[in-house]
Amino acid sequence: NQVAWKHLNAFISVAAADDVLRQAREADETSSSGRGGAPSSSPLHGRLIALKDNICTTDLPTTCGSAILARYTSPFDATVTTRLRAAGAIVAGKTNMDEFGMGSHSRYSHFGGVAQPASSHSSATSTTAPAHQLPPNPTDAALLSAGGSSGGSALAVSTLQAHAALGTDTGGSVRLPASYVGVLGFKPSYGRVSRWGVVAYANSLDTVGVLAPGARVARDVFAALDAWDPRDPTSLSARTRVRLSAMDATREPRVRRGLRIGVPREYNIAELSPAVRRAWARALERLSAAGHAVRPVSLPTTRLALSAYYVLAPAEASSNLAKYDGVRYGSRAAGPDSGSVARTAGGENADAVGDDGDGDILFARTRAAFFGPEVKRRLVLGAYTLSASAMDNYFVQAQRVRRLVAADFDAVFAVANPLTTAARPPVRSGGAPAADDDAKVDVLVCPTAPTPAPRLADVERLRPVDAYTNDVFTVPASLAGLPAASVPVEGEGEGEDSEGKIGMQVIGQFGDDGLVLDVAEVME
């Protein structure tokens, strides 16, 4: 199967056959040893799971799609990798991605971009049979964007090369590819899943997420990962998790009573494609036919969220990526390292490039040679917005917007945010609802992206800033740390005229991850 789909470039590395067998044997051994390892009843036992290539594994390299880590293999497994292995899963391979997670189409990869054939997505476009031996030609009208930055993970699932895959979602990188490719993408609440061993892009936003064929498999994978990790200081504590389970306990009564579904007015933007608008309306009609109450809500700060995100994420990135300087690890540019001692590439990880004679600062030469254009753009942007003269106008303002976005969500959800209401029980049990509760909702339903998957040929023509607008519906939940899923729903038309799958997003209150997956299951 992996051979047939090789030309789509979903994987950066794949586990060798004997490695897969070794992992399968280990999963069997732990399950039969009764050491509480991987019970063969675990739904992930013996399942192939693909991991985005910014999640550390000891048996395969972890490149982040970057030349600077092209030869890096981690000496440890990420906590999520360890937890999957303990549940009996087999790491099938590492998936392709935008360099360090920066991008929306998985085209900014040192290992070549990801593509999806239009035919796997929709039969609306006539396609020539893909030539499996050839690398994808981005001008081929039959190729679509797989979304990004976890495009490889989404494609690994849609092409059945993996049972499920892990991605990371900083501003939409799990949900956007899920929407373009037609699979389920789930971003849990910030802090539920450990980030230890996951290479940071913007650590206050980074979240490990799941790509799966549907909500049931996503729930299985999430259940294996949802635990406190002492090694991740942002992992939700055991005490907070107790509060979250109290909230989760009210989930079934809420569903039985009929959910209140909020439709954010501000998401009905002019740029919304007609196919997406129709799919949204149909999804809401179906929910209301199933007995749920659909009502409009307002999230007034939405239109500022995208700008705030593109200030905060690059700012954090400029700090997080400062360590790739060619000194301690990663690739290193050739030439003198201090201006006095002449030396060439050192260490086995070093990659030699010629000294262009333009200065002799090792880290500058290394970063110039090994970071791609989008990463450089973000690093310059981030360094600027954090600089003394710009800080107040950009970074500080963006932090303010971030708090307003979170407050918008808290104002529409019926359940209080368990992080900001520590003193009170998170959910009122029983009793008559307060008057203004009528205006409040359990979840929000809106599109994941303004359009279905665009053609690669069109994507390649976009200016970088235009590509940022794809994230307009995903960044608000990221800024607020809320759980959100992209659910593939059927577009209009059948056969030749089918619009294919379109991603609808379900957003819940912080900690309402279970409810988000329940609603996703109802909608798919």
Query: Least distance to ligand GLN from the beta carbon of 102, Å?
Result: 5
* Candidate list 31, 57, 66, 104; residue touching ligand GLN; CB under 6 A: 104
Query: Least distance to ligand GLN from the beta carbon of 97, Å?
Result: 8
Query: Tokens in use for 253?
Result: 């009564």
Asked if residue 499 binds ligand GLN (CB under 6 A), the reply is no
Phi, psi of 514 (to 5 degrees): -60, -40
The angle formed by the CA atoms of residues 306, 445 and 210, to the nearest 5 degrees, is 75
Of residues 178 and 287, the one with the C-beta less far from ligand GLN = 178
Q: Token pair 């303010």 is at which residue? A: 400
Of residues 9 and 173, the one with the C-beta less far from ligand GLN = 173
Could you confirm whether 94 is annotated as catalytic? no
Query: Least distance to ligand GLN from the beta carbon of 38, Å?
Result: 30
For residues 219, 224, 226 and 227, what is the CA-based torsion angle, rounded to 10 degrees?
Answer: 160
Could you confirm whether 338 is annotated as catalytic? no
Upstream peptide bond of 194 is cis (omega within 30 degrees of 0)? no
Among candidate residues 308, 484, 480, 511, the one with its CA nearest the CA of residue 411:
480
Asked if residue 108 binds ligand GLN (CB under 6 A), the reply is no
Report whether 505 contacts 486 (CB < 8 A).
yes
Of residues 95 and 168, the one with the C-beta less far from ligand GLN = 168
Question: How many angstroms separate the Cα of 163 from the Cα of each of 155, 160, 335, 429, 517?
Answer: 11, 7, 46, 39, 18
Helix, strand or coil, per DSSP, at residue 198: strand
How many residues belong to the site for ligand GLN (CB under 6 A)? 14
Question: How many angstroms separate the Cα of 403 from the Cα of each of 35, 278, 310, 468, 482?
Answer: 45, 32, 15, 21, 13
Phi, psi of 462 (to 5 degrees): -65, 145
d(CA 477, CA 488): 18
Helix, strand or coil, per DSSP, at residue 320: helix
Active-site residue, from 31, 66, 149, 318: 149
Residue nearest to ligand GLN (CB): 173
Return the residues of window 157-186 that contact ligand GLN according to CB under 6 A: 168-173
Region from 58-66, 74-82, 95-103, 224-232 binding ligand GLN, contact rule CB under 6 A: 95-103
Contact letters (x/-) for ligand GLN, 196-225, by CB under 6 A?
Answer: -----x------------------------
Active-site residue, from 106, 173, 235, 486: 173
**N-terminal to C-terminal alpha carbon distance within the chain:** 26
Could you confirm whether 52 is annotated as catalytic? yes
Of residues 313 and 519, the one with the C-beta less far from ligand GLN = 313
Region from 34-42, 100-108, 269-277, 452-460 binding ligand GLN, contact rule CB under 6 A: 100-108
Asked if residue 302 binds ligand GLN (CB under 6 A), the reply is no
Active-site residue, from 13, 31, 42, 52: 52
Asked if residue 473 binds ligand GLN (CB under 6 A), the reply is no
Q: Which residues are catalytic?
A: 52, 149, 173
Q: Which residues bind ligand GLN (CB under 6 A)?
A: 101-104, 149, 168-173, 201, 313, 471
